[in-house]
Protein backbone atom coordinates (compact mmCIF):
# COMPACT_ATOMS: atom_id res chain seq x y z
CA UNK A 1 0.00 0.00 0.00
CA UNK A 2 0.85 3.65 -0.21
CA UNK A 3 1.51 4.72 3.42
CA UNK A 4 0.92 8.36 4.30
CA UNK A 5 2.21 8.97 7.79
CA UNK A 6 1.40 12.07 9.87
CA UNK A 7 2.70 13.31 13.22
CA UNK A 8 -0.65 13.18 15.05
CA UNK A 9 -4.16 11.78 14.92
CA UNK A 10 -5.50 15.27 14.20
CA UNK A 11 -3.11 15.78 11.28
CA UNK A 12 -4.10 12.36 9.93
CA UNK A 13 -7.81 13.23 10.07
CA UNK A 14 -7.21 16.55 8.32
CA UNK A 15 -5.23 14.84 5.57
CA UNK A 16 -7.97 12.26 5.02
CA UNK A 17 -10.61 15.01 4.84
CA UNK A 18 -8.46 16.96 2.38
CA UNK A 19 -8.06 13.86 0.23
CA UNK A 20 -11.81 13.14 0.28
CA UNK A 21 -12.58 16.74 -0.64
CA UNK A 22 -10.17 16.51 -3.55
CA UNK A 23 -11.73 13.25 -4.79
CA UNK A 24 -15.25 14.65 -4.44
CA UNK A 25 -14.31 17.77 -6.40
CA UNK A 26 -12.77 15.66 -9.16
CA UNK A 27 -15.75 13.30 -9.34
CA UNK A 28 -18.98 14.95 -8.12
CA UNK A 29 -21.02 11.76 -8.67
CA UNK A 30 -18.60 9.66 -6.62
CA UNK A 31 -19.92 6.50 -4.95
CA UNK A 32 -18.42 6.45 -1.48
CA UNK A 33 -18.07 3.51 0.88
CA UNK A 34 -18.19 4.92 4.41
CA UNK A 35 -17.08 3.68 7.81
CA UNK A 36 -17.94 4.60 11.40
CA UNK A 37 -15.97 4.29 14.65
CA UNK A 38 -13.81 6.63 16.70
CA UNK A 39 -11.24 7.01 13.95
CA UNK A 40 -13.71 8.74 11.65
CA UNK A 41 -15.21 11.22 14.13
CA UNK A 42 -12.47 13.84 13.50
CA UNK A 43 -12.35 12.92 9.79
CA UNK A 44 -16.05 13.72 9.29
CA UNK A 45 -15.71 16.83 11.49
CA UNK A 46 -12.90 18.10 9.26
CA UNK A 47 -14.91 17.24 6.16
CA UNK A 48 -17.98 19.12 7.45
CA UNK A 49 -15.74 22.08 8.22
CA UNK A 50 -14.48 22.05 4.63
CA UNK A 51 -18.06 21.77 3.38
CA UNK A 52 -19.08 24.82 5.46
CA UNK A 53 -16.12 26.79 4.17
CA UNK A 54 -17.65 26.33 0.70
CA UNK A 55 -16.76 24.82 -2.62
CA UNK A 56 -17.62 21.25 -1.69
CA UNK A 57 -20.86 19.46 -2.56
CA UNK A 58 -22.25 15.99 -1.98
CA UNK A 59 -25.30 16.75 -4.15
CA UNK A 60 -24.28 14.28 -6.86
CA UNK A 61 -22.76 11.68 -4.56
CA UNK A 62 -24.12 8.53 -2.98
CA UNK A 63 -22.76 6.46 -0.12
CA UNK A 64 -22.87 2.93 1.25
CA UNK A 65 -21.79 2.27 4.80
CA UNK A 66 -19.85 -0.84 5.67
CA UNK A 67 -21.93 -2.15 8.50
CA UNK A 68 -24.74 -1.82 11.02
CA UNK A 69 -25.69 -3.57 14.25
CA UNK A 70 -28.61 -5.99 14.25
CA UNK A 71 -31.32 -5.63 16.87
CA UNK A 72 -31.14 -1.98 17.92
CA UNK A 73 -34.36 0.03 17.81
CA UNK A 74 -34.30 2.39 14.83
CA UNK A 75 -32.69 5.69 15.76
CA UNK A 76 -30.76 4.13 18.68
CA UNK A 77 -27.93 6.45 19.67
CA UNK A 78 -25.27 3.76 19.16
CA UNK A 79 -26.57 2.68 15.73
CA UNK A 80 -24.30 3.47 12.83
CA UNK A 81 -27.25 5.23 11.15
CA UNK A 82 -27.39 7.66 14.10
CA UNK A 83 -23.60 8.05 13.94
CA UNK A 84 -23.69 8.92 10.23
CA UNK A 85 -26.57 11.35 10.66
CA UNK A 86 -24.91 13.22 13.52
CA UNK A 87 -21.34 13.23 12.19
CA UNK A 88 -21.97 13.76 8.47
CA UNK A 89 -25.36 13.39 6.80
CA UNK A 90 -27.19 16.06 8.86
CA UNK A 91 -24.53 18.65 7.99
CA UNK A 92 -23.95 18.28 4.25
CA UNK A 93 -26.01 18.34 1.05
CA UNK A 94 -26.00 14.60 0.38
CA UNK A 95 -29.58 14.10 -0.91
CA UNK A 96 -32.07 12.38 1.39
CA UNK A 97 -31.99 8.65 0.67
CA UNK A 98 -28.52 8.68 -0.88
CA UNK A 99 -26.69 7.71 2.29
CA UNK A 100 -27.36 4.00 2.66
CA UNK A 101 -26.52 1.53 5.42
CA UNK A 102 -27.19 -2.21 5.40
CA UNK A 103 -30.85 -2.96 6.23
CA UNK A 104 -31.08 -4.77 9.54
CA UNK A 105 -34.80 -5.29 10.04
CA UNK A 106 -37.17 -7.71 8.42
CA UNK A 107 -35.64 -10.39 6.24
CA UNK A 108 -31.92 -9.87 6.84
CA UNK A 109 -30.74 -12.21 4.10
CA UNK A 110 -32.90 -10.39 1.55
CA UNK A 111 -31.58 -7.08 2.91
CA UNK A 112 -28.00 -8.29 2.33
CA UNK A 113 -28.76 -9.34 -1.24
CA UNK A 114 -30.50 -6.01 -1.90
CA UNK A 115 -27.51 -4.09 -0.53
CA UNK A 116 -25.14 -5.88 -2.90
CA UNK A 117 -27.59 -5.23 -5.74
CA UNK A 118 -27.84 -1.53 -4.84
CA UNK A 119 -24.05 -1.19 -4.87
CA UNK A 120 -23.88 -2.91 -8.25
CA UNK A 121 -26.74 -0.80 -9.65
CA UNK A 122 -24.88 2.36 -8.58
CA UNK A 123 -21.92 1.18 -10.67
CA UNK A 124 -19.83 -0.03 -7.74
CA UNK A 125 -17.98 1.88 -5.04
CA UNK A 126 -15.33 4.34 -6.23
CA UNK A 127 -13.68 5.07 -2.89
CA UNK A 128 -14.02 2.92 0.22
CA UNK A 129 -13.07 4.25 3.66
CA UNK A 130 -11.91 1.62 6.13
CA UNK A 131 -10.86 1.63 9.75
CA UNK A 132 -9.13 -1.40 11.21
CA UNK A 133 -9.88 -3.34 14.37
CA UNK A 134 -7.13 -4.25 16.83
CA UNK A 135 -7.67 -7.83 15.69
CA UNK A 136 -7.32 -6.84 12.04
CA UNK A 137 -11.03 -6.75 11.24
CA UNK A 138 -12.33 -4.57 8.40
CA UNK A 139 -15.98 -3.68 8.45
CA UNK A 140 -17.26 -6.29 10.86
CA UNK A 141 -15.39 -9.06 9.06
CA UNK A 142 -13.80 -10.71 12.05
CA UNK A 143 -10.80 -13.08 11.91
CA UNK A 144 -11.72 -16.22 9.98
CA UNK A 145 -13.92 -14.39 7.47
CA UNK A 146 -13.49 -15.69 3.93
CA UNK A 147 -11.74 -13.33 1.53
CA UNK A 148 -14.59 -13.84 -0.94
CA UNK A 149 -17.33 -13.17 1.62
CA UNK A 150 -20.25 -10.89 0.68
CA UNK A 151 -22.67 -8.73 2.66
CA UNK A 152 -24.05 -10.94 5.42
CA UNK A 153 -24.99 -11.24 9.06
CA UNK A 154 -22.01 -11.92 11.33
CA UNK A 155 -21.24 -12.47 15.01
CA UNK A 156 -19.04 -9.94 16.76
CA UNK A 157 -16.12 -11.21 18.82
CA UNK A 158 -16.05 -10.40 22.56
CA UNK A 159 -13.03 -8.13 21.91
CA UNK A 160 -14.94 -6.09 19.32
CA UNK A 161 -17.98 -5.86 21.61
CA UNK A 162 -15.65 -4.67 24.38
CA UNK A 163 -13.97 -2.12 22.10
CA UNK A 164 -17.36 -0.60 21.17
CA UNK A 165 -18.91 -0.69 24.65
CA UNK A 166 -18.29 3.00 25.27
CA UNK A 167 -20.74 3.90 22.49
CA UNK A 168 -23.60 2.34 24.44
CA UNK A 169 -25.42 3.46 27.58
CA UNK A 170 -23.87 1.72 30.62
CA UNK A 171 -26.95 -0.46 31.17
CA UNK A 172 -26.95 -1.82 27.60
CA UNK A 173 -24.93 -4.61 26.04
CA UNK A 174 -23.30 -4.31 22.61
CA UNK A 175 -25.38 -6.39 20.17
CA UNK A 176 -23.82 -9.77 19.42
CA UNK A 177 -24.50 -9.58 15.69
CA UNK A 178 -24.26 -7.12 12.82
CA UNK A 179 -24.55 -6.96 9.05
CA UNK A 180 -21.35 -6.14 7.21
CA UNK A 181 -20.19 -5.83 3.64
CA UNK A 182 -17.99 -8.84 2.96
CA UNK A 183 -14.28 -8.87 2.28
CA UNK A 184 -15.10 -9.78 -1.34
CA UNK A 185 -17.42 -6.77 -1.52
CA UNK A 186 -14.65 -4.52 -0.17
CA UNK A 187 -12.03 -5.92 -2.55
CA UNK A 188 -14.24 -4.94 -5.53
CA UNK A 189 -14.14 -1.24 -4.66
CA UNK A 190 -11.94 0.84 -6.96
CA UNK A 191 -9.88 2.56 -4.29
CA UNK A 192 -9.43 1.98 -0.58
CA UNK A 193 -8.50 4.60 2.02
CA UNK A 194 -7.68 2.87 5.29
CA UNK A 195 -7.23 5.09 8.33
CA UNK A 196 -5.51 4.00 11.55
CA UNK A 197 -4.40 6.10 14.49
CA UNK A 198 -2.80 5.28 17.83
CA UNK A 199 -0.43 2.66 19.16
CA UNK A 200 -3.29 0.17 19.64
CA UNK A 201 -3.46 -0.19 15.83
CA UNK A 202 0.28 -0.75 15.25
CA UNK A 203 0.16 -4.55 15.41
CA UNK A 204 -2.94 -4.71 13.24
CA UNK A 205 -1.18 -2.70 10.50
CA UNK A 206 1.87 -4.92 10.80
CA UNK A 207 -0.22 -8.11 10.48
CA UNK A 208 -2.18 -6.61 7.61
CA UNK A 209 0.66 -5.38 5.44
CA UNK A 210 4.00 -6.75 6.65
CA UNK A 211 3.14 -10.46 6.99
CA UNK A 212 1.58 -13.09 4.75
CA UNK A 213 -2.09 -13.02 3.80
CA UNK A 214 -4.24 -15.00 6.20
CA UNK A 215 -7.92 -15.06 7.16
CA UNK A 216 -6.62 -14.71 10.75
CA UNK A 217 -6.06 -11.06 9.80
CA UNK A 218 -8.96 -9.96 7.56
CA UNK A 219 -7.17 -6.73 6.56
CA UNK A 220 -4.35 -8.78 5.01
CA UNK A 221 -6.82 -9.43 2.15
CA UNK A 222 -6.13 -5.84 1.10
CA UNK A 223 -2.67 -6.91 -0.12
CA UNK A 224 -4.57 -8.20 -3.19
CA UNK A 225 -6.06 -4.77 -3.97
CA UNK A 226 -4.12 -2.57 -6.39
CA UNK A 227 -5.00 0.83 -4.93
CA UNK A 228 -4.82 1.06 -1.15
CA UNK A 229 -3.83 4.28 0.63
CA UNK A 230 -3.11 3.96 4.35
CA UNK A 231 -3.39 7.24 6.24
CA UNK A 232 -1.95 6.83 9.72
CA UNK A 233 -0.16 8.58 12.53
CA UNK A 234 3.37 7.81 13.72
CA UNK A 235 2.07 5.70 16.62
CA UNK A 236 0.04 3.38 14.37
CA UNK A 237 2.88 3.24 11.83
CA UNK A 238 5.57 2.21 14.32
CA UNK A 239 5.74 -1.43 13.16
CA UNK A 240 5.37 -0.95 9.41
CA UNK A 241 8.07 1.57 8.59
Provide the binding-site residues for ligand F6R, judged by CB under 6 A.
35-39, 66-67, 131-133, 137-140
Give the up-direction half-sphere exposure of residue 150: CA atoms within 13 A in the CB hemisphere: 11
Nearer to ligand F6R, 59 or 77 (CB): 77
29 noted as active-site residue: no
142 noted as active-site residue: yes
22 noted as active-site residue: no
Q: Which of 14, 65, 126, 135 is catalytic?
A: 135
Q: Could you tell me the smallest distance in angstroms from the CB atom of residue 55 to ligand F6R?
A: 28
Angle at CA of residue 155, ends 150 and 161, nearest 5°: 125
Q: Could you tell me the smallest distance in angstroms from the CB atom of residue 125 to ligand F6R?
A: 14
Q: Could you tell me the smallest distance in angstroms from the CB atom of residue 132 to ligand F6R?
A: 6
Nearer to ligand F6R, 60 or 108 (CB): 108
Nearer to ligand F6R, 30 or 236 (CB): 236
Q: Could you tell me the smallest distance in angstroms from the CB atom of residue 36 to ligand F6R?
A: 4
- Strand 152-155 vs strand 177-180: parallel, antiparallel, or unpaired? antiparallel
Exposure string over 158-182, b if 16+ CB within 10 A, otherwise e: eebeebbeebbeeeeebbeebbbbb
Q: Which of 14, 68, 116, 142 is catalytic?
A: 142
Nearer to ligand F6R, 111 or 133 (CB): 133
Closest CB to ligand F6R: residue number: 131
Please give the Cα distance from 51 to 150 (Å, whole number): 33
194 and 173 in contact (C-beta within 8 Å)? no
> Using CA of residue 136, residue 65, residue 178, residue 80, what is the dihedral sign?
positive
Residue numbers annotated as active site: 67, 135, 137, 142
Amino acid sequence: PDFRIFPSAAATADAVAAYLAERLAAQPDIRLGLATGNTFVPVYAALVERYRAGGLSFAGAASFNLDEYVGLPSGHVASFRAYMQSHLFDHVDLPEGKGLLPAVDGDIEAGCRNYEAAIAAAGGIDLQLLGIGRNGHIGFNEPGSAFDSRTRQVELTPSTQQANKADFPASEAVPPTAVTMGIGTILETREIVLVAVGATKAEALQMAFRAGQTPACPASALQSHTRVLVFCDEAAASLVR
